[in-house]
A and B are shown apart, each in its own frame.
Chain A
């Protein structure tokens, strides 16, 4: 209706006739502005040798039909195999083919109608791509732990980009954003184009995000060509595509997939977040351990110091006790020495007086003996005129020891005299007395 209104508003009037070709050209200009989605049933499918596909789209209620054509590139891109009786929604525009004067709807996109058809197509393509090994875990690349240059393909208009950016964290990422349609079958071409552009950029990782949706709204992500582009992208690809039951095939082919743009953002910043945690953890372990060890050493040192102190304390105590004992012993010894001295002095005095007395007594005795000796000294007697008579060197004490004519020697005070005995007289009275 809108196209019709517009055409009505820009009515073309001319009094001069125009050629058939010009007329068709004018018509084509007018109808090219009419871009609508048309729903109908596929019939009369013909695939030309060129790869272009021709078929009719029939109104299931009235039976009206319109001729349709899909160019090979678009047909390959849409990833849907056109079959008889299939209900589809086509987008595109019509034009009149001048050589034949027939109207043809030129298809830009094809969408399957109905959950069942979509699911069937999804399952078939999934099996096909599985066989090709596009979902194999072995071919998946590791997502960089600390990515720096991140390519993002999403719609600038959607909430997904905001969710992604707000949850990415601020770690100095260089984010290259490529705006792309992400809704419906029309998104396929845009997404593939975006991937091709991103291929030329220097990236660490590519991210494709969009919010959740039904199988129908996400059908672009179940496109074979798109999935293949993702699988062969030069750097790892993360998808953050919201979904319910069936994981989009684009996600299965990516190196890592998350169910939301937020989760995809976390996946990219998790390395940095973990690094923060690790840094904190190691800091805690290292410093707490060292602090504990330091404390332990100090405690050990204090304990040793205490032991040493006690050791020396005991030594000093022992020394003090020994000193006390020694002092006591010395005092005792001094006492005994003094006592001894006193006793010795006392005894010495006694001894001295004893000896003195003895000496004196002996002196007296000596004196007496001396006197006796002196008095009895023959010399003294000799001085008094006495003489000692010897005969043959023997002292003569009696006249009976001598006879007349004997030679005797008389020892006087100052010499000796030899004399011969002439006469011997006996003392008579002396004999009586005896």
Chain B
């Protein structure tokens, strides 16, 4: 897995935790919520950056004559 893909995994994990915090917390402190929203914004931006359309690279693998 590339570093970017590893970051994507970590970002989604962190976002999942933040989303869970918002869904499960009964009494939310606005200041704490704002901190988490700021962090989530950064993570979402990074994830979107990784998930945006990037052209694939293609390489043709040639068989060697002595390959056996």
Measured CA separation A179–B58 after assembly (Å): 13
12 A-B pairs in the complex with CB atoms less than 8 angstroms apart = A170-B53, A170-B56, A171-B51, A171-B54, A174-B59, A177-B58, A201-B61, A275-B12, A275-B51, A279-B12, A279-B15, A290-B34
B contact residues around A285 at 8 Å (CB): 19, 22-23
Question: Could you say which of A145, A198, A286 has the most chain B C-beta atoms within 10 Å of its C-beta?
Answer: A286
Q: Does A177 contact B60, Cβ atoms closer than 8 Å?
A: yes
Q: Is A113 an interface residue (CB 8 A)?
A: no
- State the interface size on chain A (CB cutoff 8 A): 41
CB-contacts of B14-68 with A (<8 A): 15-16, 18-19, 22-23, 28, 30, 33-34, 36-37, 40, 44, 47-48, 51, 53-61, 63-64, 67-68
A contact residues around B53 at 8 Å (CB): 170-171
Q: Which stretch in A54-62, A133-141, A189-197, A425-433 binds the other chain?
A: A189-197
Measured CA separation A172–B12 after assembly (Å): 19
Q: Does A177 contact B47, Cβ atoms closer than 8 Å?
A: no
Measured CA separation A287–B19 after assembly (Å): 9
Distance (whole angstroms) from the CB of B45 to the closest CB of chain A: 10
CB-contacts of A162-210 with B (<8 A): 165, 168, 170-179, 193-194, 196-198, 201, 204
Measured CA separation A186–B50 after assembly (Å): 42
Distance (whole angstroms) from the CB of A163 to the closest CB of chain B: 15
Residue of A nearest to B36 (CB): A286
- Could you say which of B2, B8, B19, B57 contacts A282, with CB atoms under 8 Å apart? B19
Q: Does B55 contact A289, Cβ atoms closer than 8 Å?
A: no
Residue of A nearest to B20 (CB): A285
B contact residues around A193 at 8 Å (CB): 63, 67-68
Q: Does B37 contact A287, Cβ atoms closer than 8 Å?
A: yes
Measured CA separation A194–B62 after assembly (Å): 9
A contact residues around B18 at 8 Å (CB): 282, 286
A contact residues around B12 at 8 Å (CB): 275, 278-279, 282
Q: Does B15 contact A175, Cβ atoms closer than 8 Å?
A: no
Q: Does B36 contact A146, Cβ atoms closer than 8 Å?
A: no
Measured CA separation A144–B5 after assembly (Å): 11
Measured CA separation A252–B12 after assembly (Å): 33
Question: Could you say which of A170, A172, A275, A293 has the most chain B C-beta atoms within 10 Å of its C-beta?
Answer: A172
Q: Does A176 contact B8, Cβ atoms closer than 8 Å?
A: no
- Could you say which of A148, A176, A290 contacts B59, with CB atoms under 8 Å apart? A176
A contact residues around B55 at 8 Å (CB): 170, 172
